[in-house]
């Protein structure tokens, strides 16, 4: 599985921890789209870049982080074909995959700790979409 990952300064430390986890799994190829420090940058640039990588098929899924996860998820969701779920716990990550077939995950580096972020990432990658009635709803979103 190919995973694109990006962040702003508020999500930098969380992104680095998640990236290390992804690289340790052995079953994913990671593309880091930045930022590469905790120096202040604008999150829309990074959210859009990651979303475009997923929407174009360059990546199977994307993970984005900012301070809260809110701004970068909004930026990602502006790209056609993206369903970016903001998750603060494992149950949310499982349900955004099962029910929403989310192709991107957003998290907040100022909201969750690194251990929680890794657990959320694991759930996001390892949970399958249930289809069925949920597909009808995805079709309405994509409409």
Task: Report the pLDDT value the prediction gives residue 41, as an integer from 0 to 100.
Answer: 98
Percent of the chain with pLDDT over 70: 100
Condensed to tens digits (0 to 9), the pLDDT of residues 97-135 reads: 999 999 999 999 999 999 999 999 999 999 999 999 999
Rounded mean pLDDT of the chain?
Answer: 97
Structure tokens at 115: 């251990």
Chain centroid to CA 130: 19
Half-sphere exposure of 43 (CA within 13 A, CB side): 24
Instruction: Report CA-CA distances (Å) from 97 to 21, 36, 37, 108, 128.
Output: 19, 28, 30, 18, 6
Range of the domain at 126: 2-142
**Burial class (CB within 10 angstroms; exposed 0-12, middle 13-18, buried 19+) of 13:** middle
CATH, residue 28 = 3.40.1400.10
d(CA 98, CA 113): 24
Backbone angles phi, psi at 86, to 5 degrees: -85, 120
The structural domain count of the chain equals 1
- What b/e string do you get for 18-56 counting C-beta neighbours within 10 Å, with b at 16 or more? bbebbeeeeeeebebbbbeeeeebebbbbbbbbbbbbbe
Q: Which residues are catalytic?
A: 66, 99
Contacts of 72 (CB under 8 A, 6+ apart): 6, 7, 8, 11, 43, 44, 46, 47, 64, 65, 66, 106
pLDDT digits (tens, 9 = 90+) for 6-34: 999 999 999 999 999 999 999 999 999 99
């Amino acid at each position: 599985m190919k995973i694109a990952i990006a962040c702003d300064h508020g999500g930098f430390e969380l992104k680095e921890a998640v990236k290390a986890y992804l690289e340790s799994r052995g079953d994913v190829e990671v593309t880091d789209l930045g930022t590469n420090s905790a120096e202040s940058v604008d999150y829309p640039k990074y959210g859009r870049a990651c979303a475009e990588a997923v929407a174009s098929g360059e990546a199977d899924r994307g993970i984005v982080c900012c301070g809260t996860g809110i701004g970068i998820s909004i930026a990602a969701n502006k790209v056609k074909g993206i369903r970016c779920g903001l998750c603060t716990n494992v149950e949310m990550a499982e349900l955004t995959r099962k029910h929403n077939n989310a192709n991107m995950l957003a998290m907040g580096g100022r909201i969750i700790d690194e251990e929680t972020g890794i657990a959320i990432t694991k759930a996001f990658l390892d949970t399958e979409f249930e289809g069925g009635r949920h597909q009808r709803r995805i079709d309405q979103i994509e409409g």
